[in-house]
C-alpha cells in the first residue's frame, strides 16, 4: 500500500468508526462507512490490488427529514502511483444494472496506472439497500405471464416497505454522486460512462461541471434523445446499414447477394401473414424475426449478415431459437421502471399512442410498455430534464457504427452542446465498444489515451486507433 492509499484508508476508517459509535443525526448525511476486513460486501477485489470498500449513506428523499436511509456500495481501487491524477468513476448502463462486478476486474482498466478507479452502485440497483429488484416482473416475463399485473404487484410490495419510487431517477443519482465526491474528499474527478450511464453523467454535468475534469461517454444516451420514439427506426437503419456494408464487401456481398431486399421482403411478408411454426404456440411475427439478428456486440455484428440471410430464407433451424428472453437475476426492473417512467417515456409520442409502430412489422419502440408505466405510477420529472446539456468539460464520445440502441447520431446530438468534445465512431462497432473484451481493444485504448491528456487528444483525434483500425471480417459460414 502506497502512502496516498494509507492516508485515504486511515481517513475512511476514522470516519467509519465515528459513524458507528455515535448516534446518527441529520447532520451526518451524507456519510461514507468503510467496510472492515472480513465484512460482507457485494464484490471481492483481487488481492493484488489495494482497495477501499464502503457504503455511501444518504437520504432517499433529501427534502424529507423522515425519509428512509439508503446505502450505496462503492469500491475505490487505488492506483500504485506515488503521484496520482484525479480519480475516474465508472457509471454503468441500464437503467437497472449494477456496476459492482466491474470492480472484480480492475486490471482491465488501464488508467489505474496513475488514477484511483471508483466503481459506484447506483441507487435502486442490485446490492444497493434497498434494491428495486421486482422479481414479480422477471418471473412474469420468463413464464409469459401478465406483465401489467406483475408490475402492479411489485409496486404494491415496494410501496408497503415505505420506499418512495419517485425518488429513483437520474437527478437523485447525480446528487448521490456529488455527495460521494464530497465525502471522499476529491476536488474533481472524471467519468467513464456507458449507455444509460452517459445520461447520468450528463445530468451530473448540468449541475456540477466545475467538479468534472473530463468524460468518456461510450454509447451515449443524452436526455434529449427520445428513445421511445426512435428505437425501432434506429434498429431498421442499423439493419439496412449492415446489409449495405455487406454488399460493399466483396466476400460478404458474394456470399449473401441482394441481402437487404431479400431480408425486408421477408419481413413484409411475415408482417402481412405471421408464420405458424411447429413447436411454437404463438404465430411468429416480423418483430420475432428481427429479434433473432445479433447486434449487441462487435462480435455478434460479425454474424449479422449471415443471420439476416437465414431470416430471409426462413431457415427452420433458426426459427427454433425463438424462445422467451432470458432475464438476468441481478437486473433491477423496479429501478428501470422508476427511471424510465419518470424521465423518458412521458416525453415521447409513444406515451400517447397505443397504435403499432409501422416500422419492422410493429416492432415495439418503447423501452417500457406505456401501460407498465401507468401501473408503476411515478410522476414525470420537470420537462427541463430533456433539454440539451451544455458543458465545456472535455468529452470523448465513442459510438458503434451499427449500434441499434444508441446510434452514432445520438453521439452527434450530445456533442452539439458540449463545446470541447469529439465523436469517434468505431467501424462495424455496436453497443458499449470499450467493453468488447473479445475485440482488438481500440475503443478502450481511445478512452485511456483521452484520459491521459484530454485537451491534447481533442486537438488530434485522428492520430489514434479509431481512424486507422481494420474492422473485423463478417462471418460467411455458420459456426
CATH code of the domain covering residue 104: 3.40.50.1820
User: Once rounded to an integer, what is the mean pLDDT over residues 409-438?
Assistant: 95
C-alpha torsion sign, points 384, 182, 162, 39: positive
Sheet with 31-34: list strands edge to edge.
Answer: 31-34, 51-59, 69-77, 115-120, 85-91, 189-194, 212-218, 395-400, 421-426
**What letter does residue 98 receive in the DSSP assignment?**
-
Mean pLDDT within 188-217: 98
> Does residue 351 sit in the same domain as residue 307?
no
Nearest CA to 120 out of 79, 89, 85 is that of: 89
Regarding whether 333 and 427 lie in a shared domain, the answer is: no
Q: Would you say residue 17 has pLDDT above 50? A: no
Beta bridge partners of 118: 76, 89
Cα distance between residue 167 and residue 447, in whole Å: 32
Task: Phi first, then psi: give them for residue 257, nearest 5 degrees.
Answer: -65, 145
Q: Count the domains in the chain.
A: 3
Buried b or exposed e, range 211-239, using 16+ CB within 10 angstroms: bbbbbbbbbbbbbbbbbbbbbbbbbbbbb
Final residue belonging to a domain, choices 343, 360, 382: 382
Return the ∠ at Cα 237 (arms to 234 and 242), rounded to 5°: 125
In terms of domains, do 346 and 458 share one?
A: no
On the 0-12 / 13-18 / 19+ scale of CB atoms within 10 A, 379 is: exposed
Is there a single domain that holds both residue 76 and residue 31?
Answer: yes
Quickly state the pLDDT bin for 352 (edges 50, 70, 90).
confident
Task: State the alpha helices, DSSP H only, in 315-359.
Answer: 316-319, 333-343
List the alpha helices (DSSP H) in 192-256.
196-208, 227-247, 250-255
273: containing domain: 228-319
Average pLDDT over residues 454-470: 88
Please tell me whether residues 55 and 183 are part of one structural domain. yes
Choose the final residue of a domain: 382, 405, 422.
382
Beta bridge partners of 403: none
Q: Tell me: do 67 and 106 sit in the same domain.
A: yes
Q: How many helices (H) and strands (E) does the chain have?
A: 17, 9
- Are the CB atoms for 203 and 170 separated by under 8 Å? yes
Residue 213 has pLDDT above 50, yes or no: yes
Same-domain check for residues 311 and 201: no
Q: SS3 of 400, please?
A: strand
What phi and psi, each to the nearest 5 degrees, are found at residue 100?
A: -65, -30
CA distances from 65 to 27, 69, 171 (A): 11, 10, 19
Verify that 109 and 219 share a domain, yes or no.
yes
428 alpha-carbon distance from chain centroid: 20
Model pLDDT for residues 194-203, shown as the tens digit of each residue: 999 999 999 9
Are 52 and 68 in the same domain?
yes
One domain, residues 55 and 108: yes
* Percent of the chain residues topping a pLDDT of 90: 79
Look up the pTM and report it: 0.92
Percent of the chain with pLDDT over 70: 93
Residue ending a domain, among 382, 403, 421, is: 382
Nearest to 341 by CA among 310, 366, 309, 312: 366
Does 273 share its domain with 307? Answer: yes
Q: How confident is the model at residue 184 (pLDDT cuts 50, 70, 90)?
A: very high
Q: Check pLDDT > 60 for residue 24.
A: no
pLDDT tens for 214-248 read: 999 999 999 999 999 999 999 999 999 999 999 99
Note whether 423 and 412 are within 8 A (CB). Answer: yes
Preceding peptide of 135 cis, ω within 30°: no
47-78 per-position pLDDT tens digit:
999 999 999 999 999 999 899 999 999 999 99
Find the farthest-apart pair of alpha carbons in the chain and give their distance in angstroms, rounded: 74
pLDDT at 428 over 70: yes
Q: Tell me: do 62 and 32 sit in the same domain.
A: yes
Amino acid at each position: 500500500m502506497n502512502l496516498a492509499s494509507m492516508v485515504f484508508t486511515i481517513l475512511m476508517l476514522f470516519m467509519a468508526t465515528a459513524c458507528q459509535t455515535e448516534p446518527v443525526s441529520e447532520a451526518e448525511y451524507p456519510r461514507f462507512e468503510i467496510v472492515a476486513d472480513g465484512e460482507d460486501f457485494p464484490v471481492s477485489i483481487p488481492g493484488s490490488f489495494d482497495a477501499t470498500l464502503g457504503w455511501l449513506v444518504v437520504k432517499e428523499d433529501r427534502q424529507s427529514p423522515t425519509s428512509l436511509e439508503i446505502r450505496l456500495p462503492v469500491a475505490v481501487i487505488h492506483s500504485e502511483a506515488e503521484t496520482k491524477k484525479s480519480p475516474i468513476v465508472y457509471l454503468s448502463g441500464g437503467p437497472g444494472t449494477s456496476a459492482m462486478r466491474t470492480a472484480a476486474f480492475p486490471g482491465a482498466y488501464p488508467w489505474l496506472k496513475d488514477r484511483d478507479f471508483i466503481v459506484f452502485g447506483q441507487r435502486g440497483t442490485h446490492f444497493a439497500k434497498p434494491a428495486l429488484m421486482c422479481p414479480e416482473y422477471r418471473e412474469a416475463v420468463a413464464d409469459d405471464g401478465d406483465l401489467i399485473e406483475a408490475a402492479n404487484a411489485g409496486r404494491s410490495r415496494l410501496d408497503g416497505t415505505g420506499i418512495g419510487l419517485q425518488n429513483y431517477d437520474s437527478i437523485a443519482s447525480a446528487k448521490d454522486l456529488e455527495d460521494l465526491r464530497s465525502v471522499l474528499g476529491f476536488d474533481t474527478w472524471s467519468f467513464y460512462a456507458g449507455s444509460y450511464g452517459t445520461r447520468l453523467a450528463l445530468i451530473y454535468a448540468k449541475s456540477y461541471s466545475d467538479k468534472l475534469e473530463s468524460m468518456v461517454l461510450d454509447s451515449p444516451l443524452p436526455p434529449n434523445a427520445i428513445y421511445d420514439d426512435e428505437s425501432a427506426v434506429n434498429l431498421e437503419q442499423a439493419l439496412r446499414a449492415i446489409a449495405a456494408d455487406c454488399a460493399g464487401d466483396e466476400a460478404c456481398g458474394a456470399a449473401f447477394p441482394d441481402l437487404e431486399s431479400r431480408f425486408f421482403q421477408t419481413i413484409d411478408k411475415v408482417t402481412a401473414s405471421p408464420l405458424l411454426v411447429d413447436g411454437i404456440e404463438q404465430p411468429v411475427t416480423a418483430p420475432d424475426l428481427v429479434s433473432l439478428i445479433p447486434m449487441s456486440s462487435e462480435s455478434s455484428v460479425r454474424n449479422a449478415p449471415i443471420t439476416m440471410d437465414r431470416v430471409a430464407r426462413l431457415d427452420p433451424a433458426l426459427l427454433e431459437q425463438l424462445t422467451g428472453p432470458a432475464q438476468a437475476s441481478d437486473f433491477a426492473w423496479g429501478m428501470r421502471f422508476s427511471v424510465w417512467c419518470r424521465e423518458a417515456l412521458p416525453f415521447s409520442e409513444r406515451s400517447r399512442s397505443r397504435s403499432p409502430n409501422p416500422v419492422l412489422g410493429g416492432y415495439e419502440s418503447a423501452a417500457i410498455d406505456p401501460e407498465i408505466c401507468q401501473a408503476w405510477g411515478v410522476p414525470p420529472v420537470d420537462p427541463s430534464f430533456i433539454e440539451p446539456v451544455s458543458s465545456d468539460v472535455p468529452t470523448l464520445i465513442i459510438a458503434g457504427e451499427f449500434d441499434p440502441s444508441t446510434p452514432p447520431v445520438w453521439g452527434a446530438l450530445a456533442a452539439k452542446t458540449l463545446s470541447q468534445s469529439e465523436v469517434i465512431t468505431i467501424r462495424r462497432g455496436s453497443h458499449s465498444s470499450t467493453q468488447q473484451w473479445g475485440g482488438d481493444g481500440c475503443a478502450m485504448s481511445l478512452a485511456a489515451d483521452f484520459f491521459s491528456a484530454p485537451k491534447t487528444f481533442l486537438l488530434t483525434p485522428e492520430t489514434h486507433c479509431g481512424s486507422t483500425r481494420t474492422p473485423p471480417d463478417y462471418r460467411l459460414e455458420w459456426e
